Structure 1
């Protein structure tokens, strides 16, 4: 597994190919937008049916990161659940898996727009988390102080391969802020050329692509009309 180390406001961070962020000095593992229960929520509301194993697939990947890194704290950056009813609908094996991962470490659920209320499933619910030079929240604030870490946008960027252009989930950061890719399975994404992302970053911003190994490319700027 090839990681990409980088620095944000003096904090030495690592972008993992899985889409997780590792801050070794602080013992913090951070993930964004798990969207647990997405298939259940869409079926409940009569939407497009998704494979029913997406929650377990997401948790298995998170469990692998925890096993590899043994973090002291885990910060979930909001939209951990696809809506407020999902935590009550989780089956016992999923609850057991979550409880095992939470055991012995601090687990923080940051409030998201899909899950603004604290889940009754263990851990600590917070609006945002300040640790050293960094502040963790769900949605980036346009005028946030330097050191902001957030999720919400599910950033992706298009890259060319032998098979043609494909969209890859990515971290996006400059010297002031970082946005994580969605960690959840079947979460979709927003192209980094969108106005919502372009206006948040300085000209030196880069994308760190996830996948089998991380790769860093410049943030592609939207072409002027």
Structure 2
């Protein structure tokens, strides 16, 4: 696994190709927008029937990130479940899997707009989590500094070496870092969207996920 090292808010961080973030000094792993149970939620509400394997795939990739970094702390940055009923509908195998991943480490569920209330799955439930110069919350706030958030599922679409590509990405400005969605069935918001333009600036960079992290100037994607 090749991580991309960078400094944010005077803190050394690693962006992982999977879309996870690691803070070595604190042994803290952060993932955002798992949206576990999305296929169940869509089927329950009468939508398109999707293969119900995304929770297994997402948890498999989450376990791989945990195995690779051996974190003491895991922060799930909101919208960990597609809604509260989807969280309650996890199979016994999936619940046991989450409990096993939590064992021996601090686990923090940040509240998202899809999952605003605590679930009986262990760990701590918080609106936001502050450690040193960094604030972890689900949705970016105006005027924030040292903020790490999710919610928007940023995605870069561009032509690279003659090929059109679209990849989830981290977006980093001087004051904030927006995480890509980690969940398998999550869509993406293009970097050129006005909402993201308001949160970033011309000096920001995008860190595209994939086999390795590819840094690009945000202005190129606007």
TM-score of the aligned structures, taking structure 2 as reference length: 0.97
- CA distance in structure 1 between the aligned counterparts of 2:163 and 2:104, rounded to whole angstroms: 45
- Segments of 5+ residues of structure 1 without an aligned counterpart are none
Deviations 1:157-188 (A, max 9, x none): 11324673121100000111100000000100
Instruction: Determine the structure 1 residue equivalent to 2:63.
Output: 63
1:216 corresponds in structure 2 to 215
TM-score, reference length from structure 1: 0.95
Matching residue of 2:191:
192
Check the 8 A contact 2:36/2:55 in 1, yes or no: yes
User: What whole-Å deviation, never above 9, does each CA across 1:89-138 have from its counterpart, x for those lacking one?
Assistant: 11011011101000000000000000000111111100000001000000
SS at the partner of 2:52?
Answer: coil
- Once the two structures are TM-superposed, the CA of residue 222 in structure 1 deviates from its matched residue by 7.2
Whole-angstrom CA distance in 2 between matches of 1:29 and 1:222: 27
| Cα RMSD, aligned residues only | 1.3
Query: How far does residue 204 in structure 1 lie from its aligned partner after superposition?
Result: 1.0
Between the aligned partners of 2:132 and 2:51, the Cα distance in structure 1 is: 40
Aligned length: 222
Which residue of structure 1 lines up, in the alignment, with residue 33 of structure 2? Answer: 33
SS in 1 for 2:166: strand
Equivalent pair of 2:31/2:75 in contact (CA under 8 Å): yes
Unaligned 5+ segments in structure 2 are none
SS in 1 for 2:99: helix
| Cα pair distance change 1:197/1:151, threshold 3 Å | same
Structure 1 stretches of at least 4 aligned residues deviating more than 2 Å after TM superposition: 161-164, 220-223
Q: Secondary structure at the match of 1:220?
A: helix
Residue equivalent to 1:85: 85
SS class of match (1:30): strand
Q: Check the 8 A contact 1:8/1:175 in 2, yes or no.
A: yes
Is the CA contact (8 Å cut-off) linking 1:193 and 1:220 kept in structure 2? no
